[in-house]
Amino acid sequence: MKSRRKFIKKVALVSATTSMPMVLMANQAVEDKMIHQVFFWLNEGEDVENFMREASVLGKCPTVAKFFIGQPAPTEARDVVDHSYQVACTLFFKSLEDQSAYQVEPKHLEFIERNSAKWNKVKVYDFMI
């Protein structure tokens, strides 16, 4: 019951301040506040599967609430769709502070040190949900 009460409180708060439909909030995990979305463009010939194994350590960083890793989907080629990266990581955090802590987390820094020579471009989008 405790989490149910927390959920109702959150919906009421959000509805009162932004008029966002409740159905939208109901689809969102109440505890997650932001998404840190990262795309990697690897050097030609780089072993993508090995890189994904290396990147999977990011999901084990203590403040990461949810972690998804993937590769471009074979969806329709359209001007607006970018399929040119090799690996995507989607990280959910419970707060901005948790994301800041992740940026200096030793496992994260070690991943960068071990693998940064493998990519030629990284793009990041951070947004509150």
Which residues in this chain contact a copy of itself in the complex, by CB under 8 A? 18-21, 23-24, 27-28, 34-37, 39, 49, 52-53, 56, 59-60, 66-76, 78, 80-83, 85, 88, 90, 96, 99-100, 103, 122-129
In the complex, the smallest distance separating the C-beta of residue 11 from a copy of itself, rounded to whole angstroms, is 14
Q: How far is CA 63 from CA 32, 58, 98, in A?
A: 11, 10, 5
CB of 106 to a copy of itself, least distance (A): 18
Minimal distance, residue 17 CB to a copy of itself, in Å: 10
Q: What is the DSSP letter of 56?
A: G
For residues 41 and 51, is the Cβ–Cβ distance under 8 A? no
Residues 90 and 37: beta-carbon distance below 8 Å: yes
Taking the least distance from each CB to a copy of itself, the nearer of 9 and 97 is 97
At closest approach, how far in Å is the CB of 43 from a copy of itself? 16
Place of tokens 């969806």: 75
Cα angle 39, 45, 49 (rounded to 5 degrees) comes to 60
Of 1 and 113, the one with the shorter C-beta distance to a copy of itself is 113
